[in-house]
Structure 1
């Protein structure tokens, strides 16, 4: 509804409001409520206030806004009709430019909503909201109606998405919402996986957006029509940035992800079609899946995998340097942060100590940053404090017994649901105990992870913290300091130590992965090891001296590349042997 004016410039008062009780439009809502609904709750109390009083005006305004909001929600769900804003605009506007105020329920423009919320007469209602993001528009989005046949909790997850063209496609496309709800049913109980679910929906929406730009694919269901398969391939290749001249993807991992997403969407649609008995959709989806088995690898996967593999060739494989890992920066900052938190218990000091402690735990244990970042509060408070079993203690040396008393052990959830341990030295344990003691005073929630952000349900990201500290601590090679490179450093150095097979198994188990993964992915083919050890075998073969090192391992072989190969006078050279063979053949 836009503001209209007469020929002489005066305003036309033609705005109508919808009654919250009979859902009909009236230009003078106060008169209508007094005449027809004076006995209704809210109206009765408003009419008891003196005429012209501020309290009477505010209560009637709230009832009027509730009626308008009920009407607006119906229009938004149906997708057609005239919306009633709180203030009329001189220019025509789209529904996406407006949001309802969660206090007075007025329908206002997004850009001016923050200004209205500051002076809204019912702002005290905000104090009871569940903590989370405090941005005005984000809070206002939760007040919008939930689409039919969509889970309310899942819809809130969708609304938390960054609002752009891709998000609009996600919210309007039923197939993407079904795909997202399928993932939400599997992973929704874990708040840390919500961003993963949003990412998968956005990836799928980007392909659909590309298909719409090309004018070939209007909805996601069009992707599964067999005749449209070439257009699907074209859209995926454009989104992933395929160079047609070199057949190399700009983002090969995205091409692989899009293939997995489309196959999962196909499975979800097939199940939905089976339930509803839609034989045409079932037939199309099954044919699409058959075509994918034959053609997808040929058109997409083979190029993407080759791009990923070739990118790793001759790439510098950085591993951390001992002097950078031993940097005293963390010790100094830890003591400083502990002192500051004890002197002044505020959120800022709590967050600084949490970041330093999180970084220390990740680096010391060579643990995946996501595993430690998501550590629950119960994992620390209920950590095992039992003494070593007497029978096991008999097999330990004196040093190993001291180490058992020195460290504390925590068990947390790792990748694929594995139980992985974390060892804490006394300094780390004291920092974490100090954090727990000051949780309440720093507005931390009971549902928060151990390293959660104050007043939110999110946690600090270990990767970003390590990167920032690596740049500030004066490390010579800050790019080599990351949780993944630290894990690879430990796996590579275990190869230098020449550990036994059972010891390597124990190390891989502590790092939280399988021994095959340990050898294939984490233990780098370090160039130093190849130059120093394998080169000795090649030199021995070249000089014909390999038999001299029979029954020796690589460490026991000693051969100097600078020494010239000496020829033993008592033995035949290859030329003499060849000459003797020729003489024998002539005779």
Structure 2
């Protein structure tokens, strides 16, 4: 039979698979005995079994590896000799490289020979790649792979290296192959896995370029991810979340990946619950399966031994995404003129709107509120914060800024931790600072700003002279400020220096000032966690980015900021007044036990009119302590004799006994009646302890 092989924009027709004497004869007469073939599962694709020795050869070596020509599509065992017969520009480059290697001196020759070998490997691998694509499409013929094996063989485990196009077992061998890859540009294993899925058409064609390029490589490569990449409606949910977080270039892939995998987990549970192993969301979003969605959503949250949801927020997230899945199915039905699908989705949406809140949302939301209420807020200790700040300042001042990768990494960690502690910013906001943003920073103050203040104090002038200002993108697209104190100026200039970055192995196209050796930035939260354990703090576990923000919001209560000053603080922190009050500001025990206690006492003592018009902090009144007299003590000994002598099993008198004693004192006209029952109880308790 005749097949077509595509290469370099051309199609070469070659005769293959002609049966001759029981053998499958390829274009060049390549014979592969049936017993030497290893077939893929449920396929006519095979590889030639690997053999280590050849009895017919003088030195025992086996020359049975064939490669496909990139330009004519034929198979040859000595492909490099054949390639030089073609006149393509790339062959001319190869010949020129060979010529230079032949006339080079002994120092340059090894390098040039390696370059020749690299060019040969790239041409050979690309020819094999074109051949293998045709084999996978036809589901028959020999697959040309880099490393043949004995035993079982699964064609779907193989795919091309995204850089050099050599066909390997991506999941098992890509990490090793990357070290010897003929291409000069490497990539992550996850990228190679996604490339494999695309070539095998296991990724839905509806997936956008952004999902394929950015989101899929960041996902854990397992069955959940494969389901997420195959299901049409999950991809729609992924597109929604990617677009919603488009401006957040660092984290958008993580947010999208999480929501897609969550939807895929739910689909896995639904398939198991309904015994429909190959069902998609298009098949399952129907009114008759709504109860299964409810049950599986609860199951996806995990259930504790007390029959409580382990992760209730998962149920809330699923509620939103289930509605989006139904909406995506409805849109698919409309665009493809399939009224049945649209009606199924619309009916399902009505059930979600009416019943989801009752069966899922209310349970999860109530549990979240309860846990939030019971959660103990532990703010950082002020001494720890001061000690850490001093350590960071001293470390930055003493560091020698040499162009060394280890020094660069250390400067990144110290600077990020210092800015996080000083500005109380969210870690993700600092990580996203770009070189271009840093170069546009505000380094001085214009006359308009100076005119806003009639006269500056000495401290204010010092702050203006020593600090610079960055404005970066905060949460929800808000512009938020970052103050650069004096001690980080040299460090920031060092991190932004292109010569230093080059010498320290930072990619030239890495746009972030706190860059790592890949194309991303170092995490600010990790930097803070690393530094805080380098010194002896009392409670380093409390020094977290969110806790620092809560600390700032809480002490603002004690400072007594007016409305305008509070707005300045909220703008710097990058959140609204509602978020400031509800989520960040913790109740101060000092305020509760002093100012609020004053208000309670004023009401109890009927002294409100006396202090009308005064602020709580200006109110003061004497608290007189009345000493116990000998007569009172003797009276206590009479009424509570059994407690003091230990003839009762009770540890301390209760309210009933104390009130009874006070009532008897009133009847007899003695002095004990002036005491409250709480004071009387404490006195008895103290007398009992004194006797022990």
Match of 2:418 in 1: 360
SS of 2:408's equivalent?
helix
Query: Would you say 1:312 and 2:372 are equivalent positions?
Result: yes
Residue pairs, 1:233-312, within 5 angstroms: 233-243=294-304, 246=306, 248-312=308-372
Q: Is contact 1:84-1:107 (8 Å) kept?
A: yes
- Shift in CA distance, 74/222, structure 1 to aligned 2, threshold 3 Å: farther
Taking the aligned partners of 2:341 and 2:437, their CA distance within structure 1 comes to 48
Match of 2:207 in 1: 150
Query: Would you say 1:423 and 2:483 are equivalent positions?
Result: yes
- Shift in CA distance, 419/108, structure 1 to aligned 2, threshold 3 Å: same
Query: Would you say 1:478 and 2:540 are equivalent positions?
Result: yes
Residue by residue, what CA displacement relative to the aligned partner does 1:117-136 show, whole Å, maximum 9, x if unpaired? 5455xx2x22x45xxxx54x
Match of 2:146 in 1: 86
- Shift in CA distance, 242/138, structure 1 to aligned 2, threshold 3 Å: closer
- Shift in CA distance, 149/14, structure 1 to aligned 2, threshold 3 Å: farther
Query: Would you say 1:180 and 2:257 are equivalent positions?
Result: no
Q: Is contact 2:532-2:540 (8 Å) kept?
A: yes
Larger radius of gyration: 2
Match of 2:601 in 1: 539
C-alpha displacement of 1:556: 2.7
- Shift in CA distance, 451/253, structure 1 to aligned 2, threshold 3 Å: farther
Query: Would you say 1:203 and 2:262 are equivalent positions?
Result: yes
Residue pairs, 1:22-101, within 5 angstroms: 65-73=125-133, 83-101=143-161
Residue by residue, what CA displacement relative to the aligned partner does 1:334-363 show, whole Å, maximum 9, x if unpaired? 134x31x2xx31111111111111111111
Match of 2:570 in 1: 508
Match of 1:407 in 2: 467
Q: Which among 444, 457, 468 is matched to residue 398 of structure 1?
A: 457
Q: Is contact 1:2-1:91 (8 Å) kept?
A: no
C-alpha displacement of 1:149: 4.3
Q: Is contact 1:540-1:559 (8 Å) kept?
A: no
Q: Is contact 2:144-2:167 (8 Å) kept?
A: yes
Taking the aligned partners of 1:258 and 1:518, their CA distance within structure 2 comes to 27
How many pairs are equivalent?
A: 547
Match of 1:333 in 2: 395
Gaps of 5+ in 1: 566-574, 576-587
C-alpha displacement of 1:409: 1.2
Q: Which among 107, 110, 118 is matched to residue 167 of structure 2?
A: 107
Taking the aligned partners of 1:219 and 1:105, their CA distance within structure 2 comes to 33
SS of 1:265's equivalent?
helix
Taking the aligned partners of 1:296 and 1:505, their CA distance within structure 2 comes to 38
SS of 2:533's equivalent?
helix
Using CA pairs under 8 Å that are at least 6 residues apart, name the structure with larger relative contact order, 1 or 2. 1
C-alpha displacement of 1:185: 4.5
C-alpha displacement of 1:90: 1.9
C-alpha displacement of 1:467: 2.0
TM-score by length of 1: 0.81
- Shift in CA distance, 82/278, structure 1 to aligned 2, threshold 3 Å: farther
Gaps of 5+ in 2: 1-45, 57-61, 103-112, 628-662, 664-692
Match of 2:620 in 1: 558
Q: Is contact 1:361-1:424 (8 Å) kept?
A: yes
C-alpha displacement of 1:375: 0.9
Q: Is contact 2:161-2:174 (8 Å) kept?
A: yes
Match of 1:572 in 2: none
Query: Would you say 1:230 and 2:291 are equivalent positions?
Result: yes
- Shift in CA distance, 15/431, structure 1 to aligned 2, threshold 3 Å: closer
Match of 1:371 in 2: 429
Taking the aligned partners of 1:376 and 1:530, their CA distance within structure 2 comes to 43
